[in-house]
Structure 1
Amino acid sequence: MAACRQRSCWSQLPRDLLSCIAQHLDSRLHVLRFRAVCSSWRASAPLPPKSPSLPKQLHFRGNYPTRKRIPSFLISRMNVYRIRRPGFEAVSDQKFWFIKVEETRQPNKFNVLSPFSRHPIKNVPPSFPKELNLLSFCVEETVTAFSIRQRREDPDTEVNDYNPLIRKITLASDFVSSNSAVAISRGNLCRITSDGNDNQWYKFDSNIKFRDIANFNGKLFTVDLYGSILSVRDENTFSLEEIRSPLDQTASECERYFVESGGHLYLVVRDLYICSDRVYYHRKIDGFIKETGDDPVPVKFRVYKRIPCSGDEQNEYDWVEVTDLGDQVFFVSTDCSFSFSTQDSKGCHGNRIIYVDEITDIEHLENKERYEEDDDNNELWHLKNGKVGLFNLADQSSGSLVLFPEYLAMFWPPPTWLMGDQASSSS
């Protein structure tokens, strides 16, 4: 009876108070969960708009009329969610699970992906929920990323091919008005614009090889192979401005990733200078190649944080190296990067970096082998082949993620508490 009175009290909160609360919700997911409580809460908060309008299909005109027709591309939104097991009470061994979903052209239909991969998972377990009740689980949006896939010739198919020439894509800060996106293709920074049926693909200086792009606080940042950080000075002309010379004293060719955490922008560098005699950058494939050999490549990461710069009239911000991430774990890959807290996770500690190894074996390249799509029946490709690792920033140790079951359980396989009838209620 007391529980009933409590629920009734929550449902009878003044509408102006509910409206005020709804205005402070900072994501579409939070608004949907707020509306799901009861009819009075739903009436106090309108449905959040879906903006920008994605997925978007693009057709590019070829320069040579005799050449085979250029296939179309589909730009879609991807979200990585952290799902907490049922029950909202604070416990010391709270269980989390991360999943990445990608929008399709069919309303309310999504592809399920592992955070490690760009390929949709084939043969998802039959007990995997088709829908999630937002009141049964705590679902947090960790990061939003974007994909660009090449459409197959059959217009009716929803299965698209990932374009390996595109390293990463993000939307321009004024996407709603300009319909612009920025992509790294073969190491080149490109601007994609869409104006009705007239789509254009502009390439920046091809002599610079870029490794990552980020849209942080409405401003686009990019970093090149040698660590120079640039920003888009004017989105009308998309002119680039260097805001930081190479962070590395050696200015060597390294993998670099932007990560947003706690309202700050970080740059994570995988230092390949320590193994430069065994690993080298291959411009044609825009990636790093490992010479043949069974010995593991040494792993080292460095992290830099963007902070306000005092006493410098020319530069508002500077980048400083940090060695302690607190309870945060950084996840980095060419596809998407994000951070999460381990504060309530038993057996897991922060100041770690989970990474997808981007180094390709030279034999794999020479044999022209293709990466397999992720298949749950044969374990996820990146896990099966030891391409996901964990690096301890404190003691500089590293190892395959499968050697750390507490961390691995956050990503695969799906936990038992997520499967079954309790998760299949409509949201």
Structure 2
Amino acid sequence: MGERVVDWSDFPKELWSPIGKSLDTGIDVLRFRSVCSSWRASIPPSHPSSPRFPLQFPHPYDAFPTYICQSTIYCIQPLDSSSTSTAATSSHIKGDLIKVQESASGKLRLLEPLASCAIHSYPRSAKTLNLLNFRIVEITKAYTLRFGSVGRAMVEDERRDILSYRSVPGVNKVVMFPNSAWTNAEGCAIFVIFLDGKLGFAKYGEDKLTLVDDQTSDYDDIIVYKGQFYVVDRLGVVFWIECSSLKLVQFSPPLCGLGSRKHLVESCGALYVVDEYLDRERGRMEGNRSYFNRRRELHNTIDFKVYKLDEEWGQWVLVKCLGDRAFILGSDCNFSVSAQEFVGCKRNRIYFMELEESRAFNLEDHRICDLAFSPDPPSWLYATNPLM
């Protein structure tokens, strides 16, 4: 039986808007609205009250004007030039990981995928990107807290320059949910983990940060998993956070691992804890303010162990092989990818930052090596057509 050719103009009009509004990511909404003028008119680019980043946030230390900056990590893959369809891709063509941060004025900046610092090595002529020549898929979002220089007033016009401001010291991780193309900003919740292990919370529009379980300073990482906030402590106990009451409900038993730092990673719908072993015991800061007067202790990573949560039996299972997957432990978010889809990415690896350098850990032989990137920039940096 031959394939049936469907004319998009015959697609029922009453389905255009429901389908378009079921798309979560901005890049998917952009694709939908790019099909034709009728589809573009059926839905707006986003919710009229969706968050606009940088988003004002109460400063953890009641000091300087603070903003949440959002960056998005994409897979960008060249389309198969031998195909007559721009939607077709070749399975052997690998993509690149890119991290993009956007200011309220629309200014874009490329960031290092593992860090939140800007990339300065790409060609100056690389300012545009033709989306017709590439397949772009959003992988995840990452968040950082940033503030301006001490004594400098922050006014609305200066928001466009927020990308150059410094990260708020003493903050370990920031997560926000929900945040899709159709999110109303008033429904957003933000959690912050500090370097001293405390957990802070704020809703959009609030002018004060609330400490969650302020008697406890024992949290290492936080993640949005299956639409809920989950946090892990130093013993590897994962808690589900009930946002309306800010109660922590134990979700997993303690981990058997004796590592110094725990990381939460979602991979293929399952929850993992990556237990990081350091060359010496990691101390806790006595207070967030002490960060300004004291250098952060430096440690070297010597090993990782990976555990998968068996939710049916309520126990942790030691994972000795990730298969084709690779885990990325970034400075502002953790995620996993299929190694065969990305240039320079190898299977069964954990990529992480140490002393401002990118490193790779081989889960098979437990060796750590520096990353050796190709000196040639990816071809998409030389695109010559408009981004939008």
Superposed pair shares fold, TM > 0.5: yes
2:45 matched residue in structure 1 = 47
User: 2: distance between equivalents of 1:82 and 1:126?
Assistant: 22
| Residue 259 of structure 1 pairs with residue 220 of structure 2 | no
Q: 1:164-183 alignment to 2 at 5 Å?
A: 164-172=169-177, 176-177=185-186, 179-183=188-192
Q: Counterparts in 2 of 1:157-168, with a 5 A limit?
A: 157-158=161-162, 159-168=164-173
Q: Distance in 1 between matches of 2:244 and 2:223?
A: 18
**Aligned residue number for residue 141 of structure 1:** 138
Q: Which residue of 1 aligns with 2:282?
A: 281
Identify the match of residue 276 of structure 2 among 264, 270, 277: 270
Q: Determine the structure 2 residue equivalent to 1:132.
A: 129
Q: Deviations over 1:141-197 (max 9, x none)?
A: 111121110123143343311112111111255984455311011233333425757
* CA distance in structure 2 between the aligned counterparts of 1:254 and 1:235, rounded to whole angstroms: 28
**Alignment partner of 1:333 is 2:336:** no
- Cα distance in 2 for partners of 1:34, 1:58 equals 32
Cα distance in structure 2, aligned partners of 1:253 and 1:298: 10
Report which stretch shifted further, 327-336 or 187-196: 187-196
Question: Aligned with 2:133: secondary structure?
Answer: coil
* TM norm structure 1: 0.72
Q: Tell me by how many angstroms 1:28 deviates.
A: 2.6
Q: Does 1:190 align with 2:199?
A: yes
**Which whole-Å CA distance do the structure 1 matches of 2:260 and 2:75 have between them?**
30
Higher mean alpha-carbon deviation, 179-188 vs 89-98, is at 89-98
Which of these residues, 351, 355, 364, is aligned with residue 394 of structure 1?
364
User: 1:239: which partner in 2?
Assistant: 247
Equivalent-residue separation in structure 2 for 1:25 and 1:179 (angstroms): 18
Answer yes or no: is the 8 Å Cα contact 1:22–1:34 preserved in 2: yes
The alpha-carbon distance between structure 1 residues 84 and 421, as it changes in their structure 2 partners (threshold 3 A), is: closer
Structure 1 gaps of 5+ residues are 1-5, 64-69, 273-277, 291-296, 311-316, 361-381, 403-407
Matches within 5 A, 1:215-230: 215-230=224-239
- Structure 2 matches for 1:296-311, cutoff 5 A? 299-310=302-313
Task: Assess if the C-alpha contact under 8 Å between 1:352 and 1:392 holds in 2.
Answer: yes
Give the conservation status (yes or no) of the 8 Å contact 1:268–1:304: yes
The question of whether the paired residues in 1 share the 8 Å contact of 2:199 and 2:212 is answered with yes
Structure 1 348/54 Cα, relative in aligned 2: closer, same or farther at 3 Å? Answer: closer
2:349 to 340, 348, 352: 352
Report the alpha carbon displacement of residue 392 of structure 1 after superposing the two structures with TM. 2.0
Q: Please report the RMSD computed on the Cα atoms of aligned residues, expressed in angstroms.
A: 3.2
Q: Which of residues 80, 85, 95 is equivalent to 2:78?
A: 85
Structure 2: how far apart are the matches of 1:104 and 1:347?
29
- In the superposition, relative to structure 1, how do residues 224 and 270 fare at CA in structure 2: closer, same or farther (>3 Å)? same
Separation in 2 of the partners of 1:287 and 1:244? 31
Give 5+ residue unaligned stretches, structure 2.
81-86, 286-290
Answer yes or no: is the 8 Å Cα contact 1:353–1:392 preserved in 2. Answer: yes
- Give yes or no for contact 2:126–2:381 (8 Å, CA) kept in 1: yes
Counterpart Cα distance in 2 of 1:240 and 1:421:
48
Aligned pair in 2 of structure 1 residues 96, 331: CA closer, same or farther (>3 Å)? same
Partner Cα distance (1:18, 1:223) in 2: 42
Instruction: After TM superposition, give the deviation of residue 73 of structure 1 in Å.
Output: 0.3
Residue correspondence of structure 1 range 99-110 to structure 2 within 5 A: 99-106=98-105, 108-110=106-108
The TM-score normalised by the length of structure 2 is 0.79
Question: Structure 1 residues 26, 418: closer, same or farther in 2, change over 3 A?
Answer: same
Report Cα offsets for 1:244-285 as digits up to 9, x if no partner.
343125xx352221112222222212233xxxxx42213236
Structure 1 residues 414 and 192, CA gap change in structure 2 (3 angstroms): farther
Shift of 1:240: 1.9
* Whole-Å separation in 2 of the counterparts to 1:318 and 1:23: 38
Q: Percent identity?
A: 28
**Residue 122 and residue 91 in structure 1: after superposition, are their counterparts in 2 closer, same or farther (change >3 A)?**
closer
Count residues in correspondence: 356
Alignment match, 2:288: none
User: How far apart are residue 126 of structure 1 and its match?
Assistant: 0.3
Match of 1:425 in 2: 386
CA distance in 1 between counterparts of 2:112 and 2:61 reads 34
Pick one of 11, 14, 39 that aligns with 2:11: 14
CA distance 1:345–1:58, change in 2 (3 Å): closer
